[in-house]
Structure 1
Amino acid sequence: MSVSAADAPDALSGLIPSRIVRGLIVAVLSGLCFALLNTSAKELTQQLPPLFVAWGRWIAGLVLIAPVMLWRVGPHGLATRHLGLHCVRGAFHATGYALWYEAVFWLPLATVAAIGFTGPIFVTIGAVLFLRETVHRRRWIGVAIGFAGMLVVVRPGLAEINPGTWMMLAAVPLISGSNLVGKKVSTHDRPMVVVFWQSAIASILFLPAGLWFWHAPTLPQVALFLSAGLFGTLGYFFLAWSFRLMDISALQPITFLGIVWAAAMDMIVWGKTADLWTFVGAAIIVAATSYIAHREARIGRPR
């Protein structure tokens, strides 16, 4: 009997028998890598057009992962029986991150992280609108509280809303859709295959923007692109790995550490971070989305 990708042993199985502990460890590593990716990307968007940065980041990731895969498993290791799902994910991902790269130019990383926490809220609404799922009163209360937290971060009418805020609010549901499809393909393909196809498809989809906004990068900018490609590739590799080990709802609270890493990078690199209200709103969103994740886990648990 064949073993599915989800049940196959991984590199940490011998050291850490617990599947849950392995899932938590690689989820934390994923968050750290994404924080370093975001730092490199934000620095690049201060110097180059954001959509050119998006294309360059994916090209750098592909340059880094393709030789490793060819060396380890050969061309046959790139094969997948689920190319359609990878393409669907790529469409969500490229559209969402086109908006994200524009938003990160305008906003502190901590604000980007706080708005990004609303992902489970959009997933719940999408399940009602597009999947016709029944959502009960308690989960709607969690959604309402989460939106209240988002309003605390954005503060319409009390604080100036720059274009980055609107772009980030539009990006979150698209990125959430990408993560849901990513969870699906991760049960069929190994993490490196998932990340390879994600990088290849995103590079193709961002190609027109990359050519339109072309700038010859300097050597320091090339180093930042390679940094973004490396940490982005590692981040998605660890994320796909964690998807194989744990339910996406159980992993959600780990992503809330992202605002800690983001605030630290804001202070270390740029000497400033988001205001107090961003962290207050983030705390409210964390509470609401944790409750939604808890309800999802209870509903999905066998009786």
Structure 2
Amino acid sequence: MKREVSPLAAFAVAAAGIAVYSAMDTLMKGLSIASGAYAAVLWRSLAGVALLAPVFLARRMRWPGAKALRLHVARGATGGASVLLFFWGLARVPMAQGVALTFLAPLIALFLAGLTLGERIRRAAIGGSLVASLGVLIIAAGQVQAHASDAVVMGSVAILAASVIYAVSLILLRQQAQAADPLEVALFTSVVLSVLLLVAAPWFGSVPTTDQLPVVFGAALLGSISAVALAWAYGRAEAQVLAPTEYTAFVWSALFGWLAFAERVSPYTVAGALFIIAGCLVAIRKPAPGPQTEAAL
């Protein structure tokens, strides 16, 4: 049984997890630029296993059951595809812009929940998607105005694709966090991703240099801390309560992008991000109870 905590505590832990993840994004962007997204994600995953496996064994934790193992495999696969596309794109676009495009994921998750879980798609979700789509168009207009290169455009497309896959991962995370311990979630997600990536390592992989090893393990440590924090929070609060924490990543990515890569945030990116966030908030808001609600109770 999970100990009951207040939604505010779960929200605070999730927000901290997003901040830590944004710092990890900064390290991973540098690795992706230097060695490619595939190698960077592979190194981080293997380092994550090396960091978490000893803790898992020292705590004498039980091996996951069949249901949890299926969820670990499913989320490891979808999360891996999303991460690869995201960091491939992030190596080509400013961090704030890339993160802003990922804000579509919670909105997409609402529609996927309707398709896969049979939940009714409310009018607010449809209206919110239209507002958020306008935000994407504003960011695209900024690229046109700035005469963005083909690499930047392709990076943005890759991040949009990553957002769709990440939406699936969010649904699986909620199920995963309810079925397993946060440490188990973080470890086995890294294990599955490592195994999948190692299959193609002879063709696409490479060996990190000595100078890159501290960065690899730093990214793995930050990613593991973030994964544990988010799994802990999602196991104790509803996804709709925690989804807004994703939007704090825009502030962190703008700050870290400026500090690490001297990236400037364009007005188009800020305006587009605000529209996307507004659309998501409209979509996830609860309908006000009508006069018949109390009568029905």
Q: TM above 0.5, one fold? A: yes
Deviation at 1:57, TM superposition (A): 0.8
Deviation at 1:78, TM superposition (A): 3.7
Q: Of 269, 284, 289, which aligns to 2:275? A: 284
Question: Residue by residue, what CA displacement relative to the aligned partner does 1:136-188 show, whole Å, maximum 9, x if unpaired?
Answer: 33321111101111111122755535210110011101111111111111112
- Tell me what 2:153 maps to: 162
- Tell me what 1:241 maps to: 232
Distance 1:242 1:92 in 2: 20
- Do the aligned partners of 1:139 and 1:295 also contact (CA within 8 Å) in 2? no
| Coordinate RMSD, CA, aligned | 2.2
- Do the aligned partners of 1:103 and 1:164 also contact (CA within 8 Å) in 2? yes
Distance 1:214 1:288 in 2: 39
The secondary structure found in structure 1 opposite 2:179 is coil
Instruction: List 4+ stretches of structure 1 deviating above 6 A.
Output: 296-299
- Tell me what 1:67 maps to: 54
Gaps of 5+ in 2: 291-295
| Aligned: 1:217 with 2:174 | no
Q: Of 70, 73, 77, which aligns to 2:62? A: 77
Q: TM-score, normalised by structure 1?
A: 0.88
Gaps of 5+ in 1: 10-17
- Tell me what 1:28 maps to: 15
For residue 106 of structure 2, what is the amino acid of its counterpart? P
The secondary structure found in structure 2 opposite 1:215 is coil
For residue 216 of structure 2, what is the amino acid of its counterpart? F
Q: TM-score, normalised by structure 2?
A: 0.89
The secondary structure found in structure 2 opposite 1:87 is helix
- Tell me what 1:197 maps to: 188
- Tell me what 2:104 maps to: 118
Deviation at 1:211, TM superposition (A): 3.0
Deviation at 1:132, TM superposition (A): 5.1
* Number of positions where the alignment pairs a residue of Structure 1 with one of Structure 2: 286
- Do the aligned partners of 2:38 and 2:205 also contact (CA within 8 Å) in 1? no
Distance 2:195 2:126 in 1: 39
Distance 1:169 1:40 in 2: 21
The secondary structure found in structure 2 opposite 1:238 is helix
- Tell me what 1:14 maps to: none
Question: Residue by residue, what CA displacement relative to the aligned partner does 1:228-279 show, whole Å, maximum 9, x if unpaired?
Answer: 1000111111000110121111111111110000001011111223311111
Question: Residue by residue, what CA displacement relative to the aligned partner does 1:23-43 show, whole Å, maximum 9, x if unpaired?
Answer: 022112101111111011001
- Tell me what 1:13 maps to: none
Distance 1:86 1:103 in 2: 25
- Do the aligned partners of 1:66 and 1:196 also contact (CA within 8 Å) in 2? yes
The secondary structure found in structure 1 opposite 2:205 is coil
| Aligned: 1:261 with 2:246 | no
- Tell me what 1:15 maps to: none
Structure with more of its chain in helix, by fraction: 2
| Aligned: 1:46 with 2:33 | yes
- Do the aligned partners of 2:109 and 2:170 also contact (CA within 8 Å) in 1? no
- Do the aligned partners of 1:118 and 1:289 also contact (CA within 8 Å) in 2? yes
Q: Of 222, 232, 237, which aligns to 2:223? A: 232
Q: Of 149, 162, 165, which aligns to 2:135? A: 149
How much identity, in percent, do the aligned residues show?
A: 23
- Do the aligned partners of 2:131 and 2:276 also contact (CA within 8 Å) in 1? yes
Deviation at 1:21, TM superposition (A): 2.6
For residue 53 of structure 2, what is the amino acid of its counterpart? A
